[in-house]
Amino acid sequence: MRNLRLLSVAATVLLAAPAAFTQSLDSAGPPITDFFFHENEDGSIFAADSNGTYYFATIQDYIQSPFFQEHGMHCGSDRLPQFESLGTTSDCSSSNTNPASEYNPGGGQSYNINVVFHILRRNNGLGEVSDALIASQINVLNADFAGSGISFTLAGTTRSNRNSWYNDSGNYYGSLSWDVTKYLNIYTNQAGGNLGYAYVPSGGGVVGSSFDRVVLYWQAVGTNAPIGPPYNQGRTATHEVGHYLGLYHTFQGGCATASAPGCYTSGDLICETNSESSSFFGCGNRTTCGSSDPTDNYMDYTDDLCMNNFTSEQVNRMRCTLDNFRVDLDGGPLPLPGPASSPSPSNGSSSASVNTNLSWSAGSNATSHDVYFGTSSSPASQGNQAGTSFDPGTLATSTTYFWRIDEVNSTGTTTGTLWSFTTESGGGGSPPGQATSPNPRDGRRRVKTNKDISWAAGTGATSHDVHFGTSDPPPFIRNQSATVYDTGLMLSGTVYYWRIDEVNSSGTTTGVVWSFTTR
């Protein structure tokens, strides 16, 4: 546990019953009450349970603490009120799954879910989630649900400033929700101290009620989200939307019946996910119930970068939920994707490093990307991929390369713009000099959380390897031609380390590790 401080019993008494966390859920039952969570404006956090009150200097300290893990704060869905099963089928009820072939995505109906993001901020604006992060979150959902026949389109965004709503309190959903039978309403705020939560619809009283929603912690939205590793790749939304479409945690029920047909009526109601005694944090493999745990499944608590699948039975259960419980949610075919943009190296650039990687911003509604690359103006196909970067290997010097990204989804393909760049010249030169003049200067304190970093290029450098993060040595981020790097929204009161390695055709010169501390 990092930077965790146990406060006095007196402080515990003062914080035990905060009015800010008295949640109204219409007829949905009582709020989540087994703990207390409060995020201060400086990014520090107070949390309390029956054992005491705790202080965390940053959100990173909180999400890496035993308090976060022991209270299951990755997801609050288990603490929401449950309802008796109603609906037209037992194929995907709250007590049974029938993975019938009629729900298979192959050759079946495709569903497009219209999504509305509601950004709930404090009165002073704290809690803002940018349009770029929202767009990246839609891209993550489409990538993670690829192959399921389920896609997502951003239908709208609302923004509200109210302290109680930011604290996940009050009937904000009754005031803000778009038609809950036709739209997936996602709200961002403190999420009650969880990374997120959602209602499982396979029961009465959920679908059609204003509280039917997904709630996400505002700093965990999108790719490279401000919360930082290990929950910064948008997988909290993937997990919670899984609940919204009828899935339970892989560790539901612990070591429940592991063989068919019992595994369709116990545990997470899925036989393809082996029983698991408890939630899994981090990355890796383990065995807790006599078979390999499904630690890479989106419905476990694994780190974002280490979860990567829904099983085919989980997909069928979600499609059954759409057929029988969320029958009006399908918004029609997914629109054609928008074009890819923001190429790196930039179009027409010269002196690009022979070690450069290609990257771009995904077009709206794109679920994958057809990559074309080569020395011809009709570049050859390099295949289809989910990610928005491509490593072409070591390139030739003084050569012009052409590339194009075609954006793909279930509706069709949008042909991209043809881009080009020219690599640096060869020759037996010298490696570049070190980068200098760091901004912020080394050791500076009280740096703004939205501050870009910049530097003076070393002599002879043609590109720059950026290393940046909260650990020393800082991790590699990317190679770029510019001498400015956008850090995104950083955490308050946090030490950041960075290093610039200068690159040219003769080699790479390792830079000095610099640091600064945010306000």
Domain ranges for the chain, please list them. 20-71, 92-326, 341-423, 436-518
Cβ-based neighbours of 47, under 8 Å, separated by 6 or more: 35, 36, 37, 38, 53, 54, 56, 62, 67, 193
Q: Is 240 a catalytic residue?
A: yes
Task: Quote the tokens at residue 270.
Answer: 């899925």
Q: Quote the mean pLDDT of the chain.
A: 85
The whole-number pLDDT of residue 281 equals 94
Mean pLDDT of 479-501: 90
- 341-423, CATH topology level: Immunoglobulin-like (2.60.40)
Q: Would you say 230 and 301 are in contact if contact means Cβ atoms under 8 Å apart?
A: no
Residue 8's CB is within 10 A of a number of other CB atoms, namely: 10
pLDDT of 30 > 60? The answer is no
Q: What pTM does this model have? A: 0.65
pLDDT of 13 > 60? The answer is no
Fold: same for 92-326 and 436-518: no
pLDDT tier at 145, thresholds 50, 70, 90: very high
Q: Which of 327, 336, 134 is nearest to 220 (CA)?
A: 134
pLDDT of 101 > 70? The answer is yes
Q: What pairs with residue 56 in β-bridges?
A: 4, 45
DSSP per-residue string spanning 318-361 = HHHHHHHTSTT-B--SPPPPPPPEEEESPTTEEEE-TTPPEEEE
pLDDT tier at 358, thresholds 50, 70, 90: very high
Range among 83-87, 256-260, 429-433 rated most confident:
429-433
- Separation between Cα atoms, residue 315 and residue 313, nearest integer Å: 5
- Separation between Cα atoms, residue 300 and residue 314, nearest integer Å: 13
The whole-number pLDDT of residue 208 equals 85
Q: Which of 124, 94, 284, 105 is nearest to 205 (CA)?
A: 94
pLDDT of 18 > 50? The answer is no
- 436-518, CATH topology level: Immunoglobulin-like (2.60.40)
End-to-end CA distance of the chain: 22
Residue 219 DSSP one-character state = G
The whole-number pLDDT of residue 427 equals 60
pLDDT tier at 228, thresholds 50, 70, 90: very high
Q: Which of 316, 307, 293, 274 is nearest to 98 (CA)?
A: 316
pLDDT of 88 > 80? The answer is no
Residue 287 DSSP one-character state = B
The whole-number pLDDT of residue 429 equals 67
The whole-number pLDDT of residue 4 equals 29
Flag the least confident range among 73-82, 222-231, 413-422. 73-82
The whole-number pLDDT of residue 428 equals 57
The whole-number pLDDT of residue 89 equals 66
CATH number 3.40.50.1260 given to 92-326: no
Q: Nearest 5°: phi and psi at 436?
A: -135, 180
Task: Quote the tokens at residue 127.
Answer: 């809690």
The whole-number pLDDT of residue 387 equals 78
pLDDT of 332 > 50? The answer is yes
pLDDT tier at 261, thresholds 50, 70, 90: confident
The whole-number pLDDT of residue 87 equals 43
DSSP per-residue string spanning 152-180 = EEEEEEEEEE-HHHHTT-SSHHHHH---T
Q: Which of 504, 506, 510 is nearest to 461 (CA)?
A: 504
Active-site annotation holder among 70, 128, 240, 502: 240
Flag the least confident range among 20-29, 160-169, 240-249, 479-488. 20-29
DSSP per-residue string spanning 231-267 = S-BSHHHHHHHHHHTT---TTTTSS---STTGGGSST
Residue 384's SS3 state is strand
The whole-number pLDDT of residue 85 equals 41
The whole-number pLDDT of residue 263 equals 92
